[in-house]
A and B are shown apart, each in its own frame.
Chain A
């Protein structure tokens, strides 16, 4: 057989095998949808320690699969989510929870964003107040400035009145 034919045969064999493999992985899901849903809910709140930014529900690491099976057994045995979380924290520490309990060691973690927001708002308010006073200073014009303003305004209105007929003509032209 030529190497090309060999290659084709390998690809065809691979295509034959792959659906079987997938079917094998999917079997436990089909067994009890309600149970799987509950297991999925719980494991979605747990961090996989092997691939740290994935949940145990998402991860296909061997340890994650073992822990998923462990959670499934515990749910079957009627344990609550709290009991399962305690079981995990006892073994892997607070790190395993995506939402760790509020206690002294996690206080900064929980309150940090709000603290930063508070600091940001304070800086904003201080800056806005500063600006308000700046605006107030400029509000009052001196008599000299008032004079200049008047002359500018009259010059402006004179220009406008001379310009306005033209504008009107233009407008009419545009309309027609």
Chain B
């Protein structure tokens, strides 16, 4: 009996691992930035090259940093949703225009819509490297203390918004200065 049961169990275990592997996305590398302070930056604004913005200016509010580029095809697919989400005025969205020509970026915003409060120009991609960006679009959720609480790799979808981003943002907004809210408290983010 045992000589049939043991191979069967081994087979089931291997099949279980393989099945789990089928549902994993190898391009979603766990970010080391979760629950770490957002790296500092000071960048020009796309529409106003004279003025600069830094990560410190954002302290005191929950905000999203959406990394995008005009050459990024997947960014187009998330554009209508981002527009809609921005109009709901739940949380301010800032754009990090990654390795893009400003003229191309402006044309793109005209064509696909502009959900951003402001766009920051990362022409050389240095800030992108500091934020560990490896696939555009990427979206960071950053809390009032300037700590990164979540990162969405790839285009945002309605289900990611509803299950993770919106509940997490609301929790972070309600949290007092002493409270620490991580993404683990939102089921849809884990």
Contact = CB atoms under 8 A, between A and B. Distances in A.
Interface of A: 49-50, 52, 62-63, 66-67, 70, 89-93, 95
Nearest to A47: B29
A49 B125 contact: no
Interface size class of B (residues with CB under 8 A): 10 to 19
> Per DSSP, are chain A's interface residues mostly helix, strand or loop, or mixed?
helix
A19 B169 CA distance: 53
A50 B133 CA distance: 10
B130 interface: yes
B35 to A, nearest CB: 13
B129 A93 contact: no
26 contacts: A49-B29, A49-B134, A49-B135, A50-B134, A52-B26, A62-B99, A63-B125, A63-B134, A66-B125, A67-B129, A70-B129, A89-B32, A90-B32, A91-B32, A91-B129, A91-B130, A91-B132, A92-B29, A92-B32, A93-B29, A93-B30, A93-B31, A93-B32, A93-B132, A95-B29, A95-B30
Residue among B29, B33, B99 with max Cβ neighbours from chain A (10 Å): B29
Contacts of A66: 125, 129
Contacts of B33: 91
A93 B28 CA distance: 12
A52 B32 contact: no
Which 5 A-B residue pairs are closest in the complex by CB-CB distance?
A: A49-B134, A91-B132, A93-B32, A95-B29, A92-B132
Interface of B: 26-27, 29-33, 99, 125, 129-132, 134-135
Given A50-B134, A90-B32, 10 more contacts: A52-B26, A52-B27, A63-B134, A66-B129, A91-B32, A91-B129, A92-B132, A93-B29, A93-B31, A95-B30
Nearest to B99: A62
Contacts of B26: 52
Contacts of B129: 66-67, 70, 91
Contacts of B134: 49-50, 63, 92
Contacts of A50: 134-135
Contacts of B27: 52
B47 to A, nearest CB: 25
Contacts of A63: 125, 134
A67 B132 CA distance: 11
Contacts of B125: 63, 66
Nearest to B135: A50
A89 B30 CA distance: 11
